[in-house]
Structure 1
Amino acid sequence: MANVVKYRTAKGENRYRVRYRKPDGTQTDKRGFRRKIDAENWAAEHVTIAKATNSYVDPQGGRVKVEALWPAWIAAKRTRCKKSYTNTLEQEWRVRVGPKWGSRELSSISNSEVQEWVAAMSAAGLSASVILRAEALLSGLCRQAVKDRLIGADPCDDLELPKKKRKEHRYLSMTELIRLAETSGWRRPIVLVLGLTGMRWGELVGLRVKDANLERRRLWIRRNVVEVDGELVVNTPKSDKWRQVVYPAILDDDMRSLVDGRKPDDILFEQPGGGFLRRTHGPKSSSSWFYWAKKHADIDNELTVHDLRHTAASLMVRAGANVKAVQRQLGHTSAAMTLDVYADLFDDDLDAVGEAVNAMLLENVGKMWAKETSEAA
């Protein structure tokens, strides 16, 4: 229940304040109303009705600074998110979000101001991915403030945000893939496995000898190894689900040489001298083995190791694999995702559909024409 009380200011002016208890039982008040009716209306809307409908927002909550929410928010993320992801969030906070918004009170942030921030990042030439990540972090903190009843609404709602530009995939032909593998030295099996199975680099790095089934030509994807701040971290696959991938018979000899005489828990593809493989440097870095492999194979320098996954997808589609099989091999969450990512690979299917429908029409039209001709005779 709220009480409206009259009081005098230091200047001797009459004012009204609303005294009430918050949902946690503590007492507070709202001062400064010139008219009693204004105080009563405020009390009805923001206290009586709000508490009854469980929509109460603490008027003082908006004075909390954004930086005060950050420790608990990122700690919650660490309980369920992978280290590589939380490290990205921490970097984003240090570089863009914290310096801009950390010292601001929640209630002082307006939607238009956040929109100006987004526009400024875009004007500065930052990529859509970077802008979306920064905005999502700020919005995540503000949504938490809304859940905690510190503010009534997220100031990041309904923003005009940039769209990610889809990177054009680079697909190698089978001839190019084999040529690239042959110029990769001892990494030849690595290039072939990536380019023929579609697994991710971290998934290949995490394979153990026991994950290889030579009889069925299967590899079990049970873990993913990523490099975070120079440290290799072993985690679950990207979708948090184990899966099997099939490899072609052309790799039988390579896989047998990797498995024979080794212990089940040995790393299947390991660095010379032992240990997990390390990720290559950038695709244009002359200190990268992949750079020189491409150069000697006469393949354009824009190709990345991850593009070998796209090559595998294209070879599977070209070989006649259906979208569901491609989805399972690549570890996508749904066939719709596979179609979205590789829509260009299925263009030929549209041509086939058109040809099939046309043939069906011609066949039926021919039957109808023959029937009409016989009836006329």
Structure 2
Amino acid sequence: MAYSIRKYQLKDGVRFEVRYRKPDGASTSKRGFKRKMDADTWAAANITTAQALGGFIDPQAGNATVGELWEPWIAKKRISTKPTYVATLEASWRTHVKHAWESRPVAGIKRGEVQKWVGALSKKRSASVVIRCVNILSGILADAVKDSRIPTNPAEGVELPRKQRRKHVYLAGSELFALADNCGWRRLIVLTLGLCGMRWGELVALRVEDVDLQRNRIHIHRSISRVGTDLVESDTKTHESRMVMFPAILREELRTQCEGRCPTDFLFTMPGRPTDKPMSDGGRPTSEGGWFFVALRRTGIERGHMTIHDLRHTAASLMIQSGANVKTVQRQLGHKSATMTLDTYADLFDDDLDSLSQSMDDLLFSQNVGKMWANNGGEKEISLELQR
């Protein structure tokens, strides 16, 4: 047996202490039991059984608070996650998670109270914010499980609100060019986003050397994001580089954009600014009074609250309309898989059902099945013919 019980005296009476060794050999104890029976019961439940099952949990280790474990958890994220997302996690921690859980020992957290917290937060915040906050708490508790502080993660498997997918906004080609014409010096920026489908951060990070005018290609292998007041360069969202096409209609404008610049200069910069400095987003472009909002109004485009990111959806729509297959669209947009592209733009393939209906009719008529249906007017004849 890996523990012993000793009696000690206090002013208000006798107490019992359980002394035991942790898996690393260090000696520790649990004090305060009024009866030896209580000490034995606790030791059997927390030490003997756990050691027999190979899942020993040091009761003292569970006294660590969520706040104490937050720092090593976010430090881990800083190594593997983009700075922009780390900043988002830190903001969510400060705003929603810290006050509720910072001082709580991880061993005392119950699944029911986590679920209650999720319910209360869901009434005030969007599903995305709630899910992010729960992921923070669950991630910290998951590390506590790995460190043998608690046996299970009480935040794992709680019911979460469902995200409401925002309806995509698509522009026709004529609308895209009309919008670009109302964007002033940003005209080529809007056309590049709306025809190539790259993300805003990927466009900002483009350099002259990334443009291949001979092959109508652009090399995307970096992204620039805003973190606080700083612009931070990192790899792409999927951590992979890719080559994308640009339509020949953009070649001369891109050629003009590259002229007079060094290969390492940024492709798109603000007028009057050095070409070796990345372009900012110009404030809040989609807020009322922002340059993108103003351009939409001037163009007469009313698509709800359209954002710059919706230009990426427009590019996907135009590519699919032009006949591009799903795999090509996936590569162009930088999705992790073709399945993700299909899930994201399933609504763009609705017209394929009409084409499929016509194609099936053509096939069946070519095999005389459709003709038989038309002549005989019955499913029975079709069924008999197919059975033969």
TM norm. shorter chain > 0.5: yes
Q: CA deviation at 1:207?
A: 0.5
Q: Please show how residues 16-27 of structure 1 align to structure 2 within 5 Å.
A: 17-27=17-27
Deviations 1:285-316 (A, max 9, x none): 34421122111111126211110000000000
Q: Would you say the 8 A contact 1:3–1:20 is kept in 2? A: yes
State the AA in 1 paired with 2:357.
G
Question: Identity over the aligned pairs, expressed in percent?
Answer: 49
Q: Which residue of 2 aligns with 1:256?
A: 255
2:294 to 292, 295, 315: 292
Q: CA deviation at 1:193?
A: 0.5
State whether structure 2 residue 341 is matched by structure 1 residue 338. Answer: yes
SS in 1 for 2:350: helix
Q: Which residue of 2 aligns with 1:375?
A: none
State whether structure 2 residue 105 is matched by structure 1 residue 102. Answer: no
SS in 2 for 1:220: strand
Q: Would you say the 8 A contact 2:179–2:295 is kept in 1? A: yes
Q: CA deviation at 1:39?
A: 5.2
Q: Which residue of 1 aligns with 2:188?
A: 189
Q: Would you say the 8 A contact 1:2–1:43 is kept in 2? A: no
SS in 2 for 1:163: coil
Q: CA deviation at 1:62?
A: 2.0
SS in 1 for 2:319: helix
Judging changes above 3 Å, is the alpha-carbon distance between structure 1 residues 12 and 297 closer, same or farther for their aligned structure 2 residues? closer
**In structure 1, distance between residues paired with 2:370 and 2:234:** 61
Judging changes above 3 Å, is the alpha-carbon distance between structure 1 residues 223 and 272 closer, same or farther for their aligned structure 2 residues? same
**In structure 2, distance between residues paired with 1:11 and 1:49:** 33
**In structure 1, distance between residues paired with 2:326 and 2:17:** 66
Q: CA deviation at 1:76?
A: 1.4
Q: Which residue of 1 aligns with 2:385?
A: none
Deviations 1:212-252 (A, max 9, x none): 00000000001101111011111111111010110001101
2:364 to 335, 357, 361: 361
State whether structure 2 residue 180 is matched by structure 1 residue 211. Answer: no
Q: CA deviation at 1:338?
A: 0.3
**In structure 2, distance between residues paired with 1:292 and 1:65:** 50
Deviates more, 1:168-177 or 1:145-154: 145-154
State whether structure 2 residue 221 is matched by structure 1 residue 222. Answer: yes
Q: CA deviation at 1:185?
A: 1.1
Q: CA deviation at 1:44?
A: 4.9
Q: Which residue of 2 aligns with 1:157?
A: 156
Deviations 1:321-372 (A, max 9, x none): 00000000000000000001111011122332233223323333157789x9
**In structure 2, distance between residues paired with 1:204 and 1:191:** 10
Q: Would you say the 8 A contact 2:270–2:279 is kept in 1? A: yes
TM-score, length basis structure 1: 0.91
Deviates more, 1:255-264 or 1:339-348: 255-264
CA RMSD in angstroms comes to: 2.3
SS in 2 for 1:244: strand
Q: CA deviation at 1:282?
A: 4.0
TM-score, length basis structure 2: 0.88
Deviates more, 1:311-320 or 1:258-267: 258-267
Q: Which residue of 2 aligns with 1:177?
A: 176
SS in 2 for 1:56: coil
Q: How many residues align?
A: 369
Q: Please show how residues 1-377 of structure 1 align to structure 2 within 5 Å.
A: 1-5=1-5, 7=7, 10=10, 17-31=17-31, 32=33, 34=35, 36=37, 42-44=42-44, 46-51=46-51, 53-124=53-124, 126-273=125-272, 274=274, 275-282=277-284, 284-300=286-302, 302-364=305-367, 365=369
**In structure 1, distance between residues paired with 2:218 and 2:3:** 71
Unpaired segments ≥5 residues, structure 2: 376-380, 382-388
Q: CA deviation at 1:278?
A: 1.4
Q: Would you say the 8 A contact 2:196–2:246 is kept in 1? A: yes
**In structure 2, distance between residues paired with 1:11 and 1:266:** 78
Q: CA deviation at 1:54?
A: 3.6
State the AA in 1 paired with 2:211.
A
State the AA in 2 paired with 1:297.
T
**In structure 2, distance between residues paired with 1:101 and 1:244:** 45
Q: Would you say the 8 A contact 1:2–1:48 is kept in 2? A: yes
Q: Would you say the 8 A contact 1:6–1:14 is kept in 2? A: no
Deviations 1:32-85 (A, max 9, x none): 27465x755654553345335441111112221111111111111111211111
State the AA in 1 paired with 2:363.
M
Q: Would you say the 8 A contact 1:198–1:309 is kept in 2? A: yes
